[in-house]
Amino acid sequence: MYSEKVMDHFSNPRNVGEVENPSGTGMVGNPACGDIMKLTIKVENDKITDVKFKTFGCGAAIATSSMVTELVKGKDLTEAEKISNATVAEALDGLPPVKMHCSNLAADALHSAIEDYKKKQGAK
Amino acid sequence: MNKIYFDHNATTPVLDEVFEAMVPFLKEQWGNPSSIHWAGRGTRKAVEDARESVARLLNCTPLEIIFTSSGTEGDNHAIKGLAYAKKDKGNHIITTKVEHPAVLNTCKHLQKDGFDVTYLDVDTDGLIDLNALKSAITPRTILITVMFANNETGVLSPIKEIGDIAKEKGVTFHTDAVQAAGKIPIDLQKLNIDLLTISGHKLYGPKGVGALFARRGVRLVPLIHGGHHERNRRGGTENVAGIVGFGKACDIALKDMDREITHLKALRERLEKGIAEKIPHIKVNGHLEKRLPNTANISFEFVEGESLLLNLDMKGIAASSGSACTSGSLEPSHVLLAMSLSHELSHGSVRFSLGKSNTAGEIDYLIEIMPPIVERMRSMSPLYAAAK
């Protein structure tokens, strides 16, 4: 039911863990639906220089988390902000229809982390 | 890669003897059992022999057996058929929150049709409270439907007691025994059950065939109107090969039952003990004694069930999960939630349902490969870090 790319990212997830002293943290999802994603980013000169994730969830949840980290690493914040859940699913050659809503939250986690970073910047 | 099958509550492989018994009825013995001529006489006898085999497994009379296409059909037939037959007497049905969708959704359908349904709670072991059942019965109650054994946890309902209560109150009692039949003894002479559903493919028979036991005198409105088949109770030319295979599977289940119970109990104990020794933060779901011998439902804290299943599948192991992700809905197992398990633990459940051909070596392989899988998934889980 999953594409080869999804299974690849599920079996060998990229960038698992937490960035030390992150510039921003995003946490989305809830236990009721069965997916929780935590994304931490390091931002230097408006560029995402490092990104890591931790995810509780199904195959799609883990694969989308892994994929979003690959998509944003080294990107400017403005470019990163343009990445949507649909972009992530597309990069994985699609997801089963039932997973499109429940487990496709990785871009939300990214945006939440960027927002957190910006809030911290504003507070400084 | 080894292929290991731990999903026997989903379906079972067709036994060689069952297959062999079916073959003639897919080829040379093609007559319609309703025909009086030479072509039909052999197939009629085959169908009636199979009916005796099913009746022997359940200790009832062959006349009380109606062949169906599936467990789901049997449940629909029993519940709707009884509800419509007794609608002048009352409109209240009692069931539980942990039934199979074949029962739950049939009851929900009847609610749209003017029937009232009480869904009884279960405790953390998965058992209903008999006093709650008693107090739910009203003069309008026409049917109690409670499963014999739960498909997800294997938990056994107090069927004897429910039957006694139903009889005393004059209420018809149906039980979905799809998971219990062939795995544990069912004696319809000792149990006050009026209607009982079973299915062929859960006991090493073919798919597409099942049976409904309807005790003599219990009237049902047919689900499928048609010819005079099954004594006017279920229209449609009989699935002869399927019925023959089902009968053969019932013979074998009855003959091997004691041996299988011992075999399966030993394997399950090995599995649960091995997992508990090697993996921290697990929980075995359901009453530990009042359970089918073959079912182990285990929650692995901080990880999600589908992820575990995918990892097990990569190692050749087939199991199933109460996670929402495998059910096609957004909610995890309604059974585990009804047992007051948290959403996390419900999502993190895996069901291992063992069968005839499983070996101690296969269990040991599972116990060897499972700890690193769980550990790896936990190391990726934000919940694990938060708990530590």
State residue B22's pLDDT score. Answer: 98
- pLDDT above 90 covers a percentage of chain A that reads 83
Q: What does the alpha-carbon distance between residue B312 and residue B324 come to, in Å, rounded to a whole number?
A: 18
Q: How confident is the model at residue B330 (pLDDT cuts 50, 70, 90)?
A: low
State residue B182's pLDDT score. Answer: 98
Q: How confident is the model at residue A102 (pLDDT cuts 50, 70, 90)?
A: low
Residue B219 sits at the vertex; the CA angle it makes with B218 and B223, to the nearest 5 degrees, is 125
CB pairs under 8 A between A and B: 67
* Alpha helices for A1-124 (secondary structure H): 4-11, 59-72, 77-81, 85-91, 99-102, 106-123
User: Is residue B155's pLDDT more than 70?
Assistant: yes
State residue A32's pLDDT score. Answer: 79
> Would you call A62 and B382 a contact, using CB atoms and an 8 Å cutoff?
no
CATH superfamily of B4-11+257-387: Aspartate Aminotransferase, domain 1 (3.90.1150.10)
Q: DSSP character for B37?
A: S
User: Is residue B323's pLDDT more than 80?
Assistant: no
**What residue spans in chain B does CATH classification 3.90.1150.10 cover?**
4-11+257-387
Looking at the complex, report in whole angstroms how far the Cα of residue B123 sits from the nearest Cα belonging to chain A: 21
Q: How confident is the model at residue B359 (pLDDT cuts 50, 70, 90)?
A: very high
State residue B324's pLDDT score. Answer: 63
Q: DSSP character for A30?
A: E
Looking at the complex, report in whole angstroms how far the Cα of residue B314 sits from the nearest Cα belonging to chain A: 9
Contact residues on chain B for A56, CB-CB shorter than 8 A: 302-304, 344, 381-384
User: Is residue A103's pLDDT more than 90?
Assistant: no
Q: pLDDT of B208-221, one tens digit each?
A: 999 999 999 999 99
Q: Does domain B16-252 have CATH number 1.10.1040.10?
A: no
3-state secondary structure of B101: helix
User: Is residue A101's pLDDT more than 80?
Assistant: no
> Would you call B382 and A37 a contact, using CB atoms and an 8 Å cutoff?
yes
**What residue spans in chain B does CATH classification 3.40.640.10 cover?**
16-252
Q: Is A58 among the residues known to form the active site?
A: no
| Average predicted confidence (pLDDT) for chain A | 93
Q: Which long-range contacts (CB under 8 A, 24 or more apart) does B231-238 make?
A: B231/B63, B231/B66, B233/B66, B234/B66, B234/B67, B234/B68, B234/B77, B237/B32, B237/B33, B237/B34, B238/B33, B238/B43, B238/B47, B238/B67
Q: How confident is the model at residue B329 (pLDDT cuts 50, 70, 90)?
A: low
* Alpha helices for B27-100 (secondary structure H): 38-58, 71-85
**Of A49-63, A95-109, B116-130, B294-308, minimum mean pLDDT range:** A95-109
A residues 18..37 contacting B (CB < 8 A): 18, 27, 31-37
The residue behind tokens 């006349």 is: B63
State residue B29's pLDDT score. Answer: 97
Q: How confident is the model at residue B328 (pLDDT cuts 50, 70, 90)?
A: low
Average pLDDT of B147-163? 98
Dihedral sign for Cα A72, A35, B279, B384, please: positive
> Would you call A58 and B325 a contact, using CB atoms and an 8 Å cutoff?
yes
State residue B386's pLDDT score. Answer: 78
Q: pLDDT of B120-153, one tens digit each?
A: 999 999 999 999 999 999 999 999 999 999 999 9
Of residues B324 and B136, more confidence is placed in B136
State residue B210's pLDDT score. Answer: 98
- pLDDT above 90 covers a percentage of chain B that reads 95
State residue B53's pLDDT score. Answer: 98
Q: How confident is the model at residue B285 (pLDDT cuts 50, 70, 90)?
A: very high
Beta bridge partners of B162: none
Q: How confident is the model at residue B388 (pLDDT cuts 50, 70, 90)?
A: confident
3-state secondary structure of B326: helix
Q: Can you tell me the ipTM of this complex?
A: 0.93
Alpha-carbon separation of residue A117 from A48, A120, B56, B168, B214 (angstroms): 11, 5, 71, 69, 67
